Amino acid sequence: MSNLEAGLSVTFEIGGRTVPVQSANLDIPSGKELKDAIKEAIEKGLEFSMPLGQSVTISLAEFTSWLSSRGLTLPPGFDDVVSGTQITISSLTVSTKGKFDVALLVEFSEGILPQGLDSFIDVKEIGLRLKVEPAPPPA
């Protein structure tokens, strides 16, 4: 029995920028082959997350195009909330079953955030979070 743990890492591109994500360590029951554990984890919906402290800055147009190519659209009025053309992905979780959760650091349009917000919670930065939780398959 090995004392090394195994997990998967993946890189993909959004608008020509490389996005790294990694899974948690895989559960490999005694007597199970690594290849079988990987296959089973992917089939069950293995989640991959961007490592803490990592971020990727891309254009809003490239991000929108990437989402669209996967059948996802931004919420109505998104363009009224975000004023910049660049966004920074500061957190990302994706699953082999379609779950998607991303935190974006954005430049908010004037008048979106209430005055005095920083005195209430000492704001360091504010981002926007987008999430898709796929519907479970019909029974």
Which has the higher per-residue pLDDT, 50 or 83? 50
- The CA distances from residue 133 to 26, 41, 83, 115, in Å, are 22, 18, 27, 33
Give the list of residues 6+ apart from residue 112 with CB closer than 8 angstroms, or none: 81
Cα distance between residue 16 and residue 80, in whole Å: 26
CB of 10 within 8 A of CB of 19? no
Q: Looking at residue 1, what is its pLDDT?
A: 47
pTM for the full model? Answer: 0.81
Residue written as tokens 């079953």? 97
Instruction: Give the pLDDT confidence score for residue 2 in this predicted structure.
Output: 56
Per-residue pLDDT, 5: 85
Which two tokens mark 18?
């490389």
Per DSSP, the chain holds a count of helices (H) and strands (E) of 4, 7
Per-residue model confidence as pLDDT tens digits over 1-37:
457 788 999 999 998 999 999 999 998 888 889 999 9
What's the average model confidence in pLDDT over 31-58?
Answer: 93
The tokens for 128 are 């926007």
Higher-pLDDT residue of 137 and 82 is: 82
Q: How many angstroms separate the CA atoms of 93 and 21, rounded?
A: 8
Rg (CA), the chain: 18
**CA pair distance 4, 107, nearest whole angstrom:** 43
Average pLDDT over residues 105-131: 79
What's the pLDDT tens digit per position in 52-102? 999 999 999 999 999 999 888 889 888 888 888 899 999 999 999 989 999
